[in-house]
Structure 1
Amino acid sequence: MVRALHRWPGLLALALVTVLALSGAALSVFPAAERIAAPQAEAGLSVATLADRIQAVYPGVEQIRRSPSGRITAYWFDQGAPGAAVIDPATGEGVASADPNQAERWLTNLHRSLFLGDGGRIAMAAGAAAMLVLSLTGAALVLRRTGGWRRWFAPLRGSFVGRLHVEIARNAVIGLILSSTTALWMTASTFDLLPDGGTMPAFPAEVSGETGTAFKQMRTLQQTPVTELRELSFPYPGDSTDVFTLKTERGTGYLDQGTGALLAWSDLTGWERVSETVYMLHTGQGAATLGLILGLMALGVPAMSATGVLIWLAGRRGRPRIRGNQPAGRAETILLVGSEGGSTWDFAATLHAALTETGQKVHVGPMSAFAPHRYAAAQRIIVLAATYGNGAAPASAQGFLDRLGALDAAPDMPLAVLGFGDRSFPAYCAFAKAVAIAAQATGWQELLPLDMIDRQSPQDFARWGNLLGEALGLDLALSHQPGLPKTQTLTLISRRDYGAAVQAPTAILRFALPRVSLWQRLTGARFARFQAGDLIGVLPKGSAVPRLYSLASTRRDGFIEIVVRKHPGGLCSGQLVALQPGDTVTAFLRRNPAFRPGRGRTPLILIGAGAGIGPLAGLIRGNARRRPVHLFFGMRHPDSDFFYGEELPAWQEEGRLTWLVTAVSRGMRPHYVQDALHAEASQVAELIRNGARVMVCGGREMAAGVADALAEILAPSGLTPAVLKAEGRYIEDVY
Structure 2
Amino acid sequence: MLRALHRWPGLLALALVTLLAVSGAALSVFPAAERIAAPQAEEAMSVADLATRIRSAHPGVEQIRRAPSGRITAYWFDGGTPGSAVIDPATGAGVASADPNPLQRWLTNLHRSLLLDDAGRIVMAAGAAAMLVLAVSGLALVARRVGGWRRWLAPLRGPLAGRVHVELARAAVLGLLLTSATALWMTASTFGFLPDEGPPPELPSAVSGRVGAPLASMPRLAATPVSNLHELSFPYPDDATDVFTLKTGDGVGYLDQGTGATLGWAEPSGWERISETVYMLHTGQGAPLLGLLLGLTALGVPAMGVTGLSIWLAGRAGRPRIRDNAAPGRAETIILVGSEGGSSWGFAATLHAALTRAGQRVHAAPMSAFDPARFSGARRYLVLAATYGDGDAPASAKGFLDRLDRLSAVPAAPVAVLGFGDRSFPAFCAYAKSVAAAAETKGWRLLLPFETVDRQSPQEFARWGRALGEALGIALELDHQPVRPATSTLTLISRRDYGHDVQAPTAILRFALPRLCLWQRLTGQGFARFEAGDLIGIVPEGSPMPRLYSLASGRRDGFVEIVVRKHVGGLCSSALTTLEPGGTVAAFIRRNPGFHAARDRTPLILIGAGTGIGPLAGFIRANASRRPIHLFFGMRHPDSDFLYREELEGWAAGGRLRHLSTAVSRGTRPRHVQDALVADQPEIVRAIREGARVMVCGGRQMAAGVAEAMTRILQPLGLSAEILKAEGRYVEDVY
- Cα distance in 2, alignment partners of residues 196 and 420 from structure 1: 60
Give the 3-state SS of the residue equivalent to 1:373 in structure 2: coil
Structure 1 counterpart of 2:314, one-letter code: A
Shift of 1:542: 4.6
Structure 2 counterpart of 1:73, one-letter code: T
- For residues 60-139 of structure 1, the aligned pairs below 5 Å read 60-139=60-139
1:503 corresponds to which residue?
A: 503
Q: Which moved more, 1:199-208 or 1:554-563?
A: 199-208
Structure 2 counterpart of 1:40, one-letter code: Q
2:718 corresponds to which residue?
A: 718
Q: Which moved more, 1:691-700 or 1:596-605?
A: 596-605
- For residues 470-485 of structure 1, the aligned pairs below 5 Å read 470-485=470-485
Give the 3-state SS of the residue equivalent to 1:310 in structure 2: helix
Q: Does 1:556 align with 2:556?
A: yes
Q: Does 1:36 align with 2:36?
A: yes
1:443 corresponds to which residue?
A: 443
Count of matched residue pairs: 735
Provide, for residues 492-540 of structure 1, a one-character-per-residue CA deviation record: whole Å limited to 9, x for no partner: 1011122223222211110111111111112222212111111112223
Normalising by structure 2, we get a TM-score of 0.98
1:184 corresponds to which residue?
A: 184
1:225 corresponds to which residue?
A: 225
Shift of 1:197: 4.1
Give the 3-state SS of the residue equivalent to 1:86 in structure 2: strand
Normalising by structure 1, we get a TM-score of 0.98
Q: Which moved more, 1:575-584 or 1:708-717?
A: 575-584
1:729 corresponds to which residue?
A: 729
Which blocks of at least 5 consecutive residues in structure 1 are unaligned? none
- Cα distance in 1, alignment partners of residues 104 and 554 from structure 2: 46
2:265 corresponds to which residue?
A: 265
- Cα distance in 2, alignment partners of residues 10 and 684 from structure 1: 50
Provide, for residues 321-346 of structure 1, a one-character-per-residue CA deviation record: whole Å limited to 9, x for no partner: 11222212222211110111111011
Shift of 1:10: 0.7
- Cα distance in 1, alignment partners of residues 457 and 397 from structure 2: 22
Provide, for residues 359-394 of structure 1, a one-character-per-residue CA deviation record: whole Å limited to 9, x for no partner: 222111111111222223322111101111121111
Shift of 1:403: 1.6
- For residues 257-656 of structure 1, the aligned pairs below 5 Å read 257-656=257-656
Structure 2 counterpart of 1:92, one-letter code: G
Provide, for residues 440-483 of structure 1, a one-character-per-residue CA deviation record: whole Å limited to 9, x for no partner: 22322111011111121112111111111111111111121111
Give the 3-state SS of the residue equivalent to 1:526 in structure 2: coil
Structure 1 counterpart of 2:718, one-letter code: G
Give the 3-state SS of the residue equivalent to 2:230 in structure 1: strand
- Cα distance in 2, alignment partners of residues 71 and 30 from structure 1: 12
Shift of 1:435: 1.4
Shift of 1:191: 0.5
1:662 corresponds to which residue?
A: 662
Shift of 1:208: 1.9
Shift of 1:599: 4.3
Shift of 1:687: 2.1
Q: Does 1:149 align with 2:149?
A: yes
Q: Which moved more, 1:479-488 or 1:164-173?
A: 479-488
- Cα distance in 2, alignment partners of residues 599 and 262 from structure 1: 68
- Cα distance in 1, alignment partners of residues 102 and 492 from structure 2: 61
2:171 corresponds to which residue?
A: 171
Q: Does 1:6 align with 2:12?
A: no
Whether the aligned pair in 1 keeps the contact of 2:530 and 2:554 (CA below 8 Å) is yes
- Cα distance in 1, alignment partners of residues 53 and 654 from structure 2: 69
Q: Does 1:694 align with 2:697?
A: no
Shift of 1:23: 0.9
Structure 2 counterpart of 1:184, one-letter code: L
Q: Which moved more, 1:185-194 or 1:493-502?
A: 493-502
- Cα distance in 2, alignment partners of residues 627 and 142 from structure 1: 33
Structure 2 counterpart of 1:592, one-letter code: N
Shift of 1:683: 2.5
Whether the aligned pair in 1 keeps the contact of 2:147 and 2:402 (CA below 8 Å) is no
Shift of 1:12: 1.1
Shift of 1:231: 0.9
- Cα distance in 2, alignment partners of residues 72 and 273 from structure 1: 22
Q: Which moved more, 1:633-642 or 1:279-288?
A: 633-642
Provide, for residues 676-705 of structure 1, a one-character-per-residue CA deviation record: whole Å limited to 9, x for no partner: 111121231232233221110011111011
Structure 2 counterpart of 1:643, one-letter code: L
Which blocks of at least 5 consecutive residues in structure 2 are unaligned? none
- Cα distance in 2, alignment partners of residues 483 and 490 from structure 1: 20
- Cα distance in 1, alignment partners of residues 484 and 715 from structure 2: 45
Structure 2 counterpart of 1:717, one-letter code: L
Shift of 1:668: 2.1
Q: Which moved more, 1:187-196 or 1:488-497?
A: 488-497
Structure 1 residues 75 and 504, CA, compared in 2 at 3 Å: closer, same or farther?
same
Give the 3-state SS of the residue equivalent to 1:646 in structure 2: helix
Structure 2 counterpart of 1:289, one-letter code: L
- Cα distance in 1, alignment partners of residues 153 and 407 from structure 2: 27
Structure 2 counterpart of 1:230, one-letter code: H
Structure 2 counterpart of 1:245, one-letter code: T
Whether the aligned pair in 1 keeps the contact of 2:196 and 2:275 (CA below 8 Å) is no
Shift of 1:241: 1.8
- Cα distance in 2, alignment partners of residues 500 and 456 from structure 1: 32
- Cα distance in 2, alignment partners of residues 314 and 575 from structure 1: 30
Give the 3-state SS of the residue equivalent to 2:645 in structure 1: coil
Provide, for residues 67-100 of structure 1, a one-character-per-residue CA deviation record: whole Å limited to 9, x for no partner: 0001000000111111100001111111111111
- Cα distance in 2, alignment partners of residues 656 and 138 from structure 1: 42
- Cα distance in 2, alignment partners of residues 178 and 628 from structure 1: 45
Provide, for residues 273-296 of structure 1, a one-character-per-residue CA deviation record: whole Å limited to 9, x for no partner: 111000000001001111111111
Q: Does 1:162 align with 2:178?
A: no
Shift of 1:412: 1.4
- Cα distance in 2, alignment partners of residues 279 and 543 from structure 1: 63
Quote the RMSD (CA, aligned, Å): 1.4
Runs of 4+ with deviation above 3 angstroms: 541-544
Structure 1 counterpart of 2:12, one-letter code: L
Structure 1 residues 543 and 220, CA, compared in 2 at 3 Å: closer, same or farther?
closer
Q: Which moved more, 1:462-471 or 1:677-686?
A: 677-686
- Cα distance in 2, alignment partners of residues 310 and 162 from structure 1: 9
- Cα distance in 2, alignment partners of residues 143 and 719 from structure 1: 31
Give the 3-state SS of the residue equivalent to 2:175 in structure 1: helix
